[in-house]
Amino acid sequence: MVKLVGIKLALVCILGCMSVYAMAANEVSATRVWPSDDYTRMTFEAGGAFKYQTFSLKKPERLVLDIEDIALNAVLNALPKQILADDPYIQQVRIGQYQPNVVRVVIDLKQDVNFNVFSLMPAGEYSHRLVLDILPLKDPVMAMLDKLDKTQRLTTSPSDRKAADAPSLNMSDSMKAPINDAASQTDAKQVGRMITIAIDAGHGGEDPGARGASGSREKDITLAIAKKLKEKVDAEPNMRAVLTRDGDYFVSLRGRVIKARKLRADLFISIHADSFTKSSARGSSVFALSERGATSATARYLAQKENQSDLIGGVSLKDKDPILAKTLLDLSQSATINDSLKLGKAVLDYVEEINVLHKHHVEQAGFAVLKSPDIPSILVETAFISNPEEERKLNNVQHQMQLADSILAGIKRYFATNPPLARSFASQ
C-alpha cells in the first residue's frame, strides 16, 4: 500500500512538471549580443510576448533577468558563448532553470552600470523581442566631449582661445565670398577651433536596413563608408569626425541627433543605401529636412521639458517666453534647412562624378535624423542596394573610398563659402 502511494505521488509530480512545462509554450528562438563602447545590447527573441522581471545585485555587481513561462533550451544555453572577452561591461553570463517555468539569466559585470529593459513587438523579420541595454554610469558622449575640449585647450594658443571666446552671433554675406576649390581648405585658426563632423552610419544591430539581391545588408555598407569618411575627415588639419555608431549595434534615431548636439557638431552626415521594389531603380540622392518635418520637430522639441535648458545656436531657451522660444526655434530651423540645402548641393555635385543621380536636386523629407534645429544635416542615399549592379559597387572597397572622397569634397566646398562660426569653449 505504501509502495502504491509512493508511485502515485511520483506520477503526480511528473504530471505536474509536465503541465508546468506545457504552460511554458513560449520558446526562445534566438539570442543576440551587440557590444559597443556606448552600451551592450542583449536581445532574446520568441514567438510570443515576454513576461519578465529584472533587478541588480551589488558586491559583486550583477544584473539578474528572470524570464517567465519559458523552459531552458539549446538557444539559451548557447548565450554565454556570445560574450566577448573585450566587452566593456559584461564579465560573463550564467543561465539556468530557476523554477520549472522560469529561466534566470545572471550577468556578472565588470563595472557598476545603468540598465534598461523593454519588449518590442514583431517587426520585419523579427518576432517578439526582449531587449536588455547595459549602459555606463557616465554618458560616453559627454566623456568624449570633455576629452576633446581638454585636447583643444592644450593645442590652442592663448590668442586663438581669446578669439574663440569672443561672442559671434552671425556672419555677414561679405564674409562668405566664394573660394576656388583648390583653396577650399577652411583654416581652423579662422574660427579658433576644430570643425566637428558627426557621421551617422544608418541602421545597425537589430535594424539591418535594406537587403540586396545577393544578401548585402545596408547596415554593413553604411558603416564601412562612414568609417572611411571618418578617416579622411580626421586626416584634414582642421577637422575631426565622430561616428554615431562605430560597430554593429542599434542606436535610436533620436539618440543619433542627441549625440551630434551634445558634441556641438558643425555638420551631420547620415549615410544610407536606398532600396525599391523594382531592381531597375538606381542612382544616388541627397536629402535635407522638409519644412513640414521642421514644423513637427519644433512642436515636439518645445513639448520636451529636458530641452528647455538647451542651447539653440548658442541661445538658451530656459528663461524664454514660450512664444519667443518657438520663434527662435523656427528661425534657427529655417536657417539650418537653408544651410543643409547648400551642403547637400555641394555633396551631390561631387557624388555625380562617380555615380548617376536618382534626382539632380537636393530632395526634402521629414527624416528623424535630420531634425536637429541648429546643425546643418543631410542624408546621403549612396545608391540602390536593391539594384544588383549598384549593390556590387557598394560592396567594392574602392568605390566606398570614392564615395567618402566625394562627400568630403562637398563638405570642404560648403565650408569654403560658409565658414563655421566661432564658439566659446563654455558652450562647446
Domains of the chain: 24-136 (2.60.40.3500), 140-427 (3.40.630.40)
- Bridge partners of 134, per DSSP, are 40, 115
C-alpha grid cell, residue 296: 513637427
- Residue 148: predicted pLDDT: 56
Task: For the chain, list residues with pLDDT below 50.
Answer: 2, 5, 9, 12-22, 155-157, 159-184, 186-189, 298-299, 301-303, 305-309, 311, 314-316, 424-428
DSSP conformational letter for 364: E
Query: How much is the pLDDT for 169?
Result: 31
Q: What mean pLDDT is reported for the chain?
A: 79
Consecutive H or E run containing 239: strand 239-243
Q: At what angle do helices 322-351 and 397-417 cross, to 10 degrees?
A: 130
Residue that has been written with the C-alpha cell 538557444 in this structure: 75
Q: What is the pLDDT of residue 22?
A: 47
What phi and psi values does residue 392 have, to the nearest 5 degrees? -60, -40
Strands 62-68 and 51-57 turn out to be antiparallel
Per-residue pLDDT at 139: 62
What CA–CA distances, in Å, run from 336 to 170, 288, 301, 333, 344?
A: 13, 10, 15, 5, 12
Helix 253-262 and helix 140-155, axial crossing angle in degrees, nearest 10: 30
Q: Nearest CA to 240 among 79, 382, 85, 411? A: 411
Contact 416/178 with Cβ under 8 angstroms? yes
Radius of gyration of the chain (CA): 26
**CA distances (Å), 365 to each of 22, 189, 285, 341, 359, in order?**
50, 35, 12, 12, 14
Predicted pLDDT of residue 36:
79
| Residues 382/225, Cβ–Cβ less than 8 Å | yes
Angle separating helix axes 291-303 and 322-351, nearest 10 degrees: 140
Helix axis angle for 218-234 and 397-417, nearest 10°, is 50
The residues with which 315 forms a beta bridge, in sequence order, are 312
**Closest listed residue to residue 252, CA positions, set 399, 41, 61:** 41
